[in-house]
Amino acid sequence: MRIIVMDNYDEMSKRAALMITSQVMLKPDSVLGLATGDTPLGMYKELIKLYNKKEVDFKEVRTFNLDEYYGINRENLQSYYYFMNSNLFNSINIARENINMPDGMAKDVNASCKGYENKIKELGGIDMQVLGIGGNGHIGFNEPNVNFEAETHLVNLEEQTIEANSRFFTSIKDVPVKAISMGIKTIMNSKKIILLANGLNKAKAIERAVNGKINPNIPASILQLHNDVTIIIDKEAASKL
Ligand code: PGA
């Protein structure tokens, strides 16, 4: 694992955006794995700036998002589809047909998850996967006590995750309790991984992911076994290392 500690959130975001930009320069049709949440928002803003300055071109880029709530449709303001459109896709030149998101309204969830995995494989696998981390050490929606062998699947969200996500909903009762998430196996099959974290509330999860024993209670700890992980964090998230 490479650990890069930046002074603050803005610097963390810029560094991550430069890594994505370099990836796309080296391989214009890169397959990117993308994440939602507060953490990557600054990185997406930077990518839009770089795109506007013509420093990166997304014309041939393909994307797969890590996860999507189950049971809410794409028009819902809280769907991750909506998030990705409003925070990145609508502002860059990515081709709509190159965007892949888990289908939160799939009737046959298993078939839909299998189809998602197959498509990733057909395109040659994920070149660079962006991850955030939950306060409980989750990556994607792979909650503690994770099955390290799982591919894309339906998950039950933990109480702590539902509570953390309730800030975006009118009431905690509106927060979906299930989601479709890439599994740990899907994530581990990515060629390169960058994990971003900022703020004191992520310090403990980062410490356990980096220095702790690899165990299913801290899903992110499995990343210790991946051979190309870069962790980009601000000073606060690094404060327990
Ligand atoms: P956050 O979420 O970026 O909104 O903190 C990260 C996560 O839960 O994976």
Amino acid 43: pLDDT:
98
Say which amino acid occupies 57. D
Q: What is the pLDDT of residue 123?
A: 98
Q: Under DSSP, is residue 74 helix (H, G, I), strand (E, B) or coil?
A: coil
Active site includes 143?
Answer: yes
The 3-state DSSP composition of the chain as helix, strand, coil percent (nearest 5) reads: 40, 20, 40
**Please, what is the Cα angle at 145 between 67 and 40, to 5 degrees?**
35
Ligand 1 closest atom vs CA 201 = 5
**CA 118 to the chain's CA centroid:** 19
138 an active-site residue? yes
* C-alpha Rg value of the chain to the nearest Å: 17
- Please give the Cα distance from 41 to 39 (Å, whole number): 6
Whole-number pLDDT of residue 13: 98
Which atom in ligand 1 lies closest to the alpha carbon of residue 40? 3
User: How much is the pLDDT for 27?
Assistant: 98
Measured distance CA(78)–CA(67) in Å, rounded:
13
Ligand 1 mean position, distance from CA 232 (Å):
14
Cβ neighbours around 30 below 10 Å, total: 22
Q: What is the DSSP string of 4-64?
A: EEESSHHHHHHHHHHHHHHHHHH-TT-EEEE--SSTTHHHHHHHHHHHHTTS---TT-EEE
Residue indicated by tokens 């509330």: 201
The pLDDT value recorded for residue 168 is 87
pTM for the model: 0.96
Ligand 1, CB cutoff 6 Å, lining residues = 37-39, 132-134, 138
Query: DSSP state, 158?
Result: P
Read off the amino acid at residue 68: E
From ligand 1's centre to the CA of 135, what distance in Å? 8
Q: Which of 117, 143, 151, 236 is catalytic?
A: 143
- The closest-lying atom of ligand 1 relative to the alpha carbon of residue 36 is 3
Is 52 in the active site? no
Domain layout of the chain by residue ranges: 2-234
Three-state secondary structure call for residue 156: strand
In this structure, which residue's CA is closest to atom 8 in ligand 1? 134
Task: Count Cα atoms within 13 angstroms, Cβ side, for 220.
Answer: 31
Pick out the chain residues at pLDDT < 70: none
Q: State which amino acid sits at residue 61.
A: V
- Strand 153-156: give its sheet, edge to edge: 67-69, 178-181, 153-156
Q: Which CATH class is domain 2-234?
A: alpha beta
Q: Is 67 annotated as catalytic?
A: yes
Task: Identify the DSSP state of 209.
Answer: H
**Ligand 1: which of 34, 38, 41 to mutate, judged by most atoms within 8 Å of the beta carbon?**
38
In this predicted model, what pLDDT tens digit does every residue of 21-52 receive, in sequence order? 999 999 999 999 999 999 999 999 999 999 99
What's the CA-to-centroid distance between 51 and ligand 1, angstroms?
Answer: 25
